Amino acid sequence: MNTDLLILVAIVGLGTWAMRALPLRLPFFSGRPGGAMSRFLAATGPAALAALTAASFLPLATPDVAVLGPTLVGSAAVVGGHFATRDMAAAALVGAVAYGITVWLIGV
Amino acid sequence: MPRPSSAPPASFRHGARTSLPITLGYFPVGISFGIAASRAGLSVFEATFVSMAIYAGASQFLALTLLTGGAPVIVSALSVLAMNLRHVLYGPAIMEKAGPGAPIRYSWAWAGWLSDGGFGAAYVGLQRPGARFSERWMFGIGMGPYLAWCSGTAVGALVGTGPIEAWPAVDAALGFLMPALFLAMLLSVLSRVHLPAIAAGLLVSLAGTLTVSATFGIVMGMVAGALVGVAGWGQGRDTDRFDLDGGVH
Question: What average pLDDT does range A78-99 have in this prediction?
Answer: 90
Share of chain A above pLDDT 70, in %: 95
B145 and B113 Cβ atoms separated by less than 8 Å: yes
B91 and B107 Cβ atoms separated by less than 8 Å: yes
Note the pLDDT of residue B249. 30
User: How far apart are the CA of A64 and the nearest CA of chain B, in angstroms?
Assistant: 15
User: How many angstroms separate the CA atoms of B124 and B242, rounded?
Assistant: 15
Q: pLDDT tier at B193 (50, 70, 90 boundaries)?
A: confident
What residues of B are in contact with residue A21 (Cβ under 8 Å)?
A: 91, 107-108, 111-112
Complex ipTM value = 0.87
Report CB contact under 8 Å: A51, B218.
yes
The mean predicted confidence, pLDDT, of chain B is: 85
Report CB contact under 8 Å: A49, B114.
no
Q: Give the chain B residue nearest A95 (alpha carbons).
A: B180
Q: Which of B104, B183, B221 sits opposite A24 (nearest CB)?
A: B104
Share of chain B above pLDDT 90, in %: 44
B172 and A70 Cβ atoms separated by less than 8 Å: yes
User: How many angstroms separate the CA atoms of B221 and B197, rounded?
Assistant: 9
3-class secondary structure per residue, B210-225: HHCCHHHHHHHHHHHH
**Considering only CA atoms, which of B16, B221, B100, B91 is closest in space to residue A56?**
B221
What residues of B are in contact with residue A27 (Cβ under 8 Å)?
A: none
Enter the pTM of the model. 0.79
Lowest mean pLDDT among A55-59, A100-104, B141-145: A55-59
Report CB contact under 8 Å: B229, A43.
yes
Digit-coded pLDDT (tens) for B18-70:
999 999 889 988 988 998 898 888 999 999 999 999 999 878 888 888 887 77
- Strand stretches in chain B, DSSP E: none
List, in sequence order, every residue forming a beta bridge with B242; answer none if it has no partner: B248
Digit-coded pLDDT (tens) for A7-45:
999 999 999 999 999 999 988 777 677 788 888 888 888
